[in-house]
Amino acid sequence: MGFESYVVVHNIAKRHNVGTLARSATAFGVSELILVGRRDFNSFGSHGSSAHLRFRHFHSLHDARHFLKEKDFDICGVEITENAMPVNQHPFNKSTAFLLGNEGTGLSAKECEICDFFVYIPQYGGGTASLNVTVAASIVLHHFAVWAGFGERCRDGNKFVVAERPVKQVRRNFCTETEDAIVEERKSRRENAVNGFFDENENNNSSSNLLDALFVDG
Protein backbone atom coordinates (compact mmCIF):
# COMPACT_ATOMS: atom_id res chain seq x y z
CA MET A 1 0.00 0.00 0.00
CA GLY A 2 1.26 3.48 -0.84
CA PHE A 3 1.55 6.54 1.34
CA GLU A 4 -1.45 8.58 2.47
CA SER A 5 -1.90 12.12 3.73
CA TYR A 6 -4.52 13.39 6.18
CA VAL A 7 -5.31 16.92 7.33
CA VAL A 8 -6.22 17.66 10.94
CA VAL A 9 -8.51 20.66 11.42
CA HIS A 10 -8.48 22.26 14.88
CA ASN A 11 -8.78 25.85 16.02
CA ILE A 12 -8.91 27.56 12.61
CA ALA A 13 -10.47 30.96 13.28
CA LYS A 14 -12.13 31.67 9.94
CA ARG A 15 -14.72 28.98 9.33
CA HIS A 16 -14.92 29.54 5.56
CA ASN A 17 -11.26 28.53 5.34
CA VAL A 18 -12.29 24.93 6.00
CA GLY A 19 -14.16 24.76 2.69
CA THR A 20 -11.19 26.14 0.77
CA LEU A 21 -8.94 23.74 2.66
CA ALA A 22 -11.14 20.83 1.56
CA ARG A 23 -10.75 21.95 -2.06
CA SER A 24 -6.94 21.97 -1.76
CA ALA A 25 -7.00 18.63 0.04
CA THR A 26 -8.81 16.92 -2.81
CA ALA A 27 -6.47 18.49 -5.38
CA PHE A 28 -3.39 17.09 -3.67
CA GLY A 29 -4.60 13.59 -2.88
CA VAL A 30 -5.53 13.88 0.79
CA SER A 31 -7.45 10.80 1.92
CA GLU A 32 -9.17 12.13 5.00
CA LEU A 33 -9.93 15.36 6.83
CA ILE A 34 -10.05 14.97 10.60
CA LEU A 35 -12.16 17.40 12.61
CA VAL A 36 -11.26 17.89 16.27
CA GLY A 37 -13.78 19.43 18.66
CA ARG A 38 -17.19 20.56 17.50
CA ARG A 39 -18.12 20.05 13.89
CA ASP A 40 -20.45 22.90 12.92
CA PHE A 41 -18.89 24.90 10.11
CA ASN A 42 -19.80 25.61 6.52
CA SER A 43 -17.80 24.41 3.54
CA PHE A 44 -18.26 27.54 1.47
CA GLY A 45 -15.41 27.65 -1.04
CA SER A 46 -15.10 23.89 -1.48
CA HIS A 47 -17.00 23.99 -4.83
CA GLY A 48 -18.28 20.46 -4.32
CA SER A 49 -14.90 18.98 -3.42
CA SER A 50 -16.01 18.05 0.11
CA ALA A 51 -18.04 15.20 -1.46
CA HIS A 52 -14.74 13.60 -2.53
CA LEU A 53 -13.19 13.55 0.96
CA ARG A 54 -13.68 11.26 3.92
CA PHE A 55 -14.38 13.09 7.17
CA ARG A 56 -13.74 11.84 10.68
CA HIS A 57 -14.43 13.49 14.03
CA PHE A 58 -12.72 13.34 17.42
CA HIS A 59 -13.55 15.20 20.60
CA SER A 60 -9.94 15.88 21.56
CA LEU A 61 -6.45 16.15 20.12
CA HIS A 62 -5.44 13.20 22.30
CA ASP A 63 -8.09 10.99 20.67
CA ALA A 64 -7.03 12.09 17.20
CA ARG A 65 -3.38 11.36 17.96
CA HIS A 66 -4.23 7.91 19.32
CA PHE A 67 -6.13 7.07 16.12
CA LEU A 68 -3.30 8.28 13.88
CA LYS A 69 -0.64 6.41 15.82
CA GLU A 70 -2.65 3.20 15.57
CA LYS A 71 -2.53 3.70 11.79
CA ASP A 72 1.25 4.32 11.98
CA PHE A 73 1.00 7.92 10.76
CA ASP A 74 3.47 10.68 11.54
CA ILE A 75 1.90 13.93 12.69
CA CYS A 76 3.50 16.98 11.10
CA GLY A 77 2.90 20.46 12.46
CA VAL A 78 3.04 23.25 9.88
CA GLU A 79 4.72 25.93 11.93
CA ILE A 80 7.93 27.94 12.15
CA THR A 81 9.53 26.38 15.21
CA GLU A 82 13.17 26.21 16.25
CA ASN A 83 13.54 22.67 14.88
CA ALA A 84 11.18 22.98 11.89
CA MET A 85 12.56 21.77 8.55
CA PRO A 86 11.96 23.44 5.17
CA VAL A 87 9.11 21.65 3.42
CA ASN A 88 10.95 21.75 0.09
CA GLN A 89 13.51 19.34 1.56
CA HIS A 90 10.71 16.75 1.82
CA PRO A 91 11.53 15.53 5.36
CA PHE A 92 8.87 12.79 5.25
CA ASN A 93 9.21 9.12 6.14
CA LYS A 94 5.74 7.60 5.94
CA SER A 95 2.03 8.42 5.73
CA THR A 96 1.54 11.77 7.40
CA ALA A 97 -1.23 13.85 8.98
CA PHE A 98 -0.72 17.60 8.73
CA LEU A 99 -1.83 19.87 11.56
CA LEU A 100 -2.15 23.53 10.64
CA GLY A 101 -2.20 26.39 13.10
CA ASN A 102 -4.64 29.17 13.78
CA GLU A 103 -4.34 32.01 11.27
CA GLY A 104 -3.36 34.56 13.91
CA THR A 105 -1.59 32.63 16.64
CA GLY A 106 -0.25 29.53 14.91
CA LEU A 107 -0.13 26.16 16.64
CA SER A 108 -0.89 26.17 20.35
CA ALA A 109 1.30 24.42 22.92
CA LYS A 110 -1.20 21.54 23.14
CA GLU A 111 -1.22 21.16 19.37
CA CYS A 112 2.58 21.14 19.24
CA GLU A 113 2.67 18.38 21.87
CA ILE A 114 1.01 15.86 19.56
CA CYS A 115 3.32 16.57 16.60
CA ASP A 116 6.24 14.31 15.70
CA PHE A 117 8.02 16.96 13.65
CA PHE A 118 7.47 20.36 12.05
CA VAL A 119 7.87 21.88 8.61
CA TYR A 120 7.83 25.48 7.48
CA ILE A 121 7.52 27.15 4.08
CA PRO A 122 10.54 29.26 3.13
CA GLN A 123 9.68 32.79 2.02
CA TYR A 124 11.78 34.92 -0.29
CA GLY A 125 10.03 38.28 -0.16
CA GLY A 126 9.72 40.74 2.70
CA GLY A 127 6.11 41.83 2.35
CA THR A 128 4.36 39.48 4.78
CA ALA A 129 5.14 37.60 7.98
CA SER A 130 3.09 34.52 7.13
CA LEU A 131 0.72 32.91 4.65
CA ASN A 132 -3.02 32.29 4.78
CA VAL A 133 -3.65 28.87 6.29
CA THR A 134 -5.20 27.48 3.12
CA VAL A 135 -2.33 28.74 0.97
CA ALA A 136 0.15 27.18 3.38
CA ALA A 137 -1.78 23.91 3.33
CA SER A 138 -1.77 23.81 -0.47
CA ILE A 139 2.00 24.24 -0.64
CA VAL A 140 2.73 21.63 2.03
CA LEU A 141 0.27 19.08 0.64
CA HIS A 142 1.71 19.51 -2.86
CA HIS A 143 5.22 18.82 -1.58
CA PHE A 144 4.05 15.69 0.21
CA ALA A 145 2.24 14.47 -2.92
CA VAL A 146 5.45 14.89 -4.94
CA TRP A 147 7.50 13.04 -2.31
CA ALA A 148 4.93 10.25 -2.00
CA GLY A 149 4.76 9.78 -5.77
CA PHE A 150 1.04 10.37 -6.13
CA GLY A 151 -0.04 9.96 -9.75
CA GLU A 152 -0.92 13.17 -11.54
CA ARG A 153 -4.58 13.53 -12.42
CA CYS A 154 -5.45 13.40 -16.11
CA ARG A 155 -6.41 16.63 -17.87
CA ASP A 156 -9.09 17.66 -20.32
CA GLY A 157 -8.14 20.87 -22.07
CA ASN A 158 -7.07 23.42 -19.49
CA LYS A 159 -8.74 21.65 -16.53
CA PHE A 160 -8.12 18.50 -14.55
CA VAL A 161 -10.77 15.82 -14.85
CA VAL A 162 -13.03 15.68 -11.80
CA ALA A 163 -13.89 12.22 -10.55
CA GLU A 164 -17.49 11.07 -10.60
CA ARG A 165 -19.21 12.55 -7.59
CA PRO A 166 -19.57 9.92 -4.86
CA VAL A 167 -22.86 9.19 -3.19
CA LYS A 168 -23.58 12.08 -0.87
CA GLN A 169 -22.67 11.36 2.71
CA VAL A 170 -25.66 11.32 5.03
CA ARG A 171 -25.47 14.34 7.27
CA ARG A 172 -26.98 13.07 10.46
CA ASN A 173 -25.45 9.62 10.32
CA PHE A 174 -21.92 10.76 9.56
CA CYS A 175 -20.76 10.45 13.15
CA THR A 176 -23.21 8.47 15.22
CA GLU A 177 -23.60 9.95 18.67
CA THR A 178 -24.37 8.11 21.87
CA GLU A 179 -25.53 9.90 24.99
CA ASP A 180 -22.07 9.46 26.50
CA ALA A 181 -20.47 10.94 23.39
CA ILE A 182 -22.70 14.01 23.57
CA VAL A 183 -21.79 14.51 27.23
CA GLU A 184 -18.10 14.15 26.35
CA GLU A 185 -18.44 16.70 23.56
CA ARG A 186 -20.02 19.25 25.87
CA LYS A 187 -17.23 18.73 28.39
CA SER A 188 -14.57 19.29 25.75
CA ARG A 189 -16.02 22.47 24.23
CA ARG A 190 -14.03 24.85 26.41
CA GLU A 191 -10.77 23.24 25.35
CA ASN A 192 -11.57 22.78 21.69
CA ALA A 193 -13.76 25.78 20.85
CA VAL A 194 -11.21 28.54 21.41
CA ASN A 195 -10.19 31.52 19.29
CA GLY A 196 -13.46 31.56 17.37
CA PHE A 197 -13.12 28.46 15.17
CA PHE A 198 -16.41 26.98 16.33
CA ASP A 199 -19.14 29.50 17.02
CA GLU A 200 -21.35 28.87 20.02
CA ASN A 201 -24.79 29.78 18.69
CA GLU A 202 -27.56 31.06 20.82
CA ASN A 203 -29.66 27.92 20.59
CA ASN A 204 -26.92 25.45 21.61
CA ASN A 205 -27.75 23.07 18.78
CA SER A 206 -27.62 19.39 19.64
CA SER A 207 -24.90 17.27 18.08
CA SER A 208 -27.43 15.65 15.76
CA ASN A 209 -27.34 18.65 13.44
CA LEU A 210 -23.73 19.79 13.80
CA LEU A 211 -22.77 18.46 10.37
CA ASP A 212 -25.70 20.01 8.52
CA ALA A 213 -23.61 22.88 7.17
CA LEU A 214 -20.70 20.67 6.20
CA PHE A 215 -22.14 19.65 2.85
CA VAL A 216 -23.48 23.06 1.77
CA ASP A 217 -21.13 24.03 -1.02
CA GLY A 218 -20.58 27.58 -2.11
Superfamily of domain 5-160: SPOUT methyltransferase, trefoil knot domain (3.40.1280.10)
CB 38 within 8 A of CB 192: yes
pLDDT-derived band at 204, boundaries 50, 70, 90:
very low
The Cα 80–Cα 115 span in angstroms is 13
- The more confidently predicted of residues 86 and 193 is 86
Write the pLDDT tens digit of every residue in 126-185: 999 888 888 999 999 999 999 999 999 888 899 888 877 664 553 432 433 444 555 555
Question: What confidence tens digit (pLDDT) does each residue in 33-83 have?
Answer: 998 886 655 554 444 556 668 888 898 999 999 999 999 999 999 999 999
pTM tops 0.95, yes or no: no
Burial 119-132 (b: 16+ CB within 10 A, else e): bbbeeeeeeeebee
pLDDT reported for residue 171: 45
> Which of 110, 111, 47, 100 has the alpha carbon at shortest distance from 78?
100
CB contact set of 156 (below 8 Å; sequence gap of 6+)? none
pLDDT attached to residue 178 = 40
CA distances from 163 to 4, 119, 166, 201 (A): 18, 31, 8, 36
DSSP character string of 38-89: -----BTT-TTGGGGSEEEEESSHHHHHHHHHHTT-EEEEES--TT-EEGGG
**Residues counted in the chain:** 218
Taking only the tens place, the pLDDT of each residue in 8-42 is 988 665 666 777 888 899 999 999 999 888 665 55
Q: What residues form DSSP beta bridges with 117?
A: 76
pLDDT beyond 70 at 199:
no
H, E, C per residue of 141-194:
HHHHHHHHCCCCCCEECCEECCCCCCCCCCCCCCCCCCHHHHHHHHHHHHHHCC
